């Protein structure tokens, strides 16, 4: 037996990324990616995934022994080891362990990608030493993972922690889930761009963003404009952070976390999103919690958050055996 490593896999709507992760949270031999092939049969995808993982394994330094696989994916079910009703992938129900079990005989663990990110923070990132925290992933949508008493909260069915689909306004923005007013329609990269468009339509605030079409607008462009002092972009971040902090004040009342950790592309904006979120949280939270909950950025290296999260899932399951 050589030194133990696990394979961390993040399955996104268009690309699956993977890397071998050691006990210290180091990604060995870099990472690899494979197209998920939208609407492609799951068995075809997992065959290609395994082949890519084997190619990456060949690049590992001598003496390393893979002992587990962790998979993070939207609608990943920890209890069943499945991916269920994933519209972006076109899969109704996939037994991930069975698919990968065709090619290897090591334990396979599955969870929601946001839960995996939370585990990554707990083992390798900003939440090391914490037993109670909430991890928020601000990407195309808003994902979340909740840790209480040192354990990930999965709930009765394996799908607990969908803070992105709590309701801000029942008559608000349409969400991809089919409802209106979900938090992620306001507090995500997509939500930020929608706020910019509303401000362009409903205010006279001068902005360089007025010359950018909606299709070309990105959260990165809004962030760049805000860092340059653009008033409309700053207002969009203020609105986004105020909404996020207000909704998180409810989560604080439910969970009393030590910290709320922000990751994902929008978190790269730093204080642009942190400052208004902190202000709103302190304004709306039940007074007994004021001044107690930290709002901080991820402690994981940018670009490897998802892989390290999936790797942390594999290690956490192995440690319980």
Distance in angstroms between the alpha carbons of the first and the last residue of the chain: 18
For the CA atoms of 70, 72, 75, 78, what is the dihedral angle to 10 degrees? 30
Q: What's the CATH code, domain 129-297?
A: 3.30.420.40
Residue that has been written with the tokens 């329609």 in this structure: 185
- Return d(Cα 160, Cα 242) in angstroms, integer: 24
Question: For each of the chain's 321 residues, which pLDDT tens digit applies?
Answer: 579 999 999 998 889 999 999 999 999 878 899 998 767 789 999 999 999 999 999 999 888 999 999 999 989 999 999 999 876 777 889 999 999 999 999 999 999 999 999 999 999 999 999 999 999 999 989 999 999 999 999 999 989 999 999 999 999 999 988 999 999 999 999 999 999 999 999 999 999 999 999 999 999 999 999 999 999 999 999 999 999 999 999 999 999 999 999 999 999 999 999 999 999 999 999 999 999 999 999 999 887 889 999 999 999 999 887
Is pTM beyond 0.85? Reply is yes
Domain 3-120+303-319: assigned CATH number: 3.30.420.40
Determine the pLDDT at residue 61. Answer: 84
State the DSSP H helix or E strand holding residue 16, giving kind and residue range, or none if neither: strand 15-21
pLDDT of residue 253: 98
The distance from CA 304 to its chain's CA centroid, rounded to whole angstroms, is: 12
Position 1 scores a pLDDT of 57
Q: Where in the chain is the domain with CATH 3.30.420.40?
A: 3-120+303-319, 129-297
Size of the chain, expressed as the number of residues it contains: 321
pLDDT score, position 85? 86
pLDDT at residue number 62: 85
Within 13 Å, how many C-alpha atoms sit on residue 148's CB side?
A: 11
Measured at the alpha carbon of residue 303, what is the angle toward residues 260 and 310, in degrees to the nearest 5? Answer: 70
| Residue-wise pLDDT tens digits, 212-258 | 999 999 999 999 999 999 999 999 999 999 999 999 999 999 999 99
72 CA to centre of own chain: 9
Q: How far apart are CA 78 and CA 216, in angstroms?
A: 37
Residue pair 159/145 in contact by the 8 Å Cβ criterion: no
Q: Which alpha helices (H) appear in the chain, and where do they start and end?
A: 42-57, 96-101, 113-124, 189-202, 219-227, 231-255, 271-284, 305-319
């Amino acid at each position: 037996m050589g030194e133990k490593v696990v394979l961390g896999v993040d399955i996104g709507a268009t690309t699956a990324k993977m890397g071998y992760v050691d006990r210290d949270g180091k990604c060995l031999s870099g990472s690899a990616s494979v197209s998920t092939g939208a609407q492609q049969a799951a068995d075809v995808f997992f065959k290609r995934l395994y082949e890519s993982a084997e190619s990456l394994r060949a690049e590992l330094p001598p003496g390393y022994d893979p002992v587990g696989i962790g998979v993070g994916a939207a609608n990943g079910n920890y209890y069943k080891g499945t991916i269920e009703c994933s519209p972006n992938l076109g899969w109704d129900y996939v037994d991930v362990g069975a698919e990968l079990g065709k090619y290897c005989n090591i334990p396979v663990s599955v969870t929601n990608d946001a839960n995996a990110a939370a585990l990554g923070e707990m083992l390798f990132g900003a939440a090391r030493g914490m037993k109670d925290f909430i991890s928020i992933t601000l990407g195309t949508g808003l994902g979340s993972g909740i840790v209480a008493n040192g354990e990930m909260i999965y709930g009765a069915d394996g799908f607990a922690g969908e803070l992105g689909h709590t309701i801000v306004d029942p008559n608000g923005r349409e969400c991809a889930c089919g409802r209106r007013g979900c938090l992620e329609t306001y507090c995500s990269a997509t939500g930020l761009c929608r706020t910019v468009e509303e401000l362009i339509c409903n205010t006279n605030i001068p902005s360089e963003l007025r010359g950018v079409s909606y299709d070309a607008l990105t959260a990165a462009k809004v962030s760049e404009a805000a860092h340059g002092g653009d008033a409309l972009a700053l207002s969009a971040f203020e609105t986004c952070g105020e909404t996020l902090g207000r909704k998180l004040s409810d989560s604080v009342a439910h969970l009393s976390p030590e910290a709320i950790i922000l990751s994902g592309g929008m978190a790269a904006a730093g204080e642009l999103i942190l400052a208004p979120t902190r202000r709103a949280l302190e304004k709306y939270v039940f007074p007994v919690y004021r001044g107690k909950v930290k709002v901080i950025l991820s402690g994981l290296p940018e670009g490897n958050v998802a892989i390290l999260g999936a790797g942390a899932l594999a290690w956490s399951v192995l440690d319980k055996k």
